[in-house]
Amino acid sequence: MKWEKILRIVEEQENVLHFKHFTNEDAWEVGNIIVEEARKNKFPAAISIRLNNGFTVFQYGFNGTGLDHENWMKRKENTVKVKAMSSMRAEAILKTQGITLADWFLESKDFSTCGGGFPIHVDGVGIIGTIIVSGISVIMDHELIIEGLCKYLKVESLERIKED
């Protein structure tokens, strides 16, 4: 799939997948939906939901996940917090514009633009946190979040990114 198309798809996903409210109970439900999707597909993923105030409201790692996944999740979270967009959209922007993290004055040791970080956008409030997945492929990390959000928010028709 071309980066221009990925950028269009992810922008639409970010425009549609908003919450009316987001509580710790919502985080628990969303997180468990994502864990069950990963389990169903046998994805050895780490899943985390973190608020912008620094509090982790949900976290789960399948057997085999560890500190490396945590480091990736922190880098993806940093990208979402600083750029106010999903890490996949950030990657698509870099690819379509032919630029790097350095052009945004960001360092790869602290930021990652691969898929797997998605903003928690509450209508009327803005972005309050990040849902993060690490451990599959960059596209599947992203799409696992999208699948969980679509189920939770009851969004049935939203275009997805397909791996080539």
pLDDT attached to residue 1 = 67
pLDDT digits (tens, 9 = 90+) for 114-159: 899 999 999 999 999 999 999 999 899 999 999 999 999 999 989 9
pLDDT attached to residue 164 = 64
What kind of fold does domain 3-153 have according to CATH? Beta-Lactamase (3.30.450)
Does the pLDDT of residue 86 top 80, yes or no? yes
pLDDT attached to residue 43 = 93
Does the pLDDT of residue 163 top 80, yes or no? no
pLDDT attached to residue 10 = 97
pLDDT digits (tens, 9 = 90+) for 11-62: 999 999 999 999 999 999 999 999 999 999 999 999 999 999 999 999 999 9
Could you tell me which of 118, 127, 124 has the C-alpha nearest to residue 20? 124
Q: Where are the domains of the chain?
A: 3-153
pLDDT attached to residue 120 = 98
Find where tokens 């956008």 sit: 121
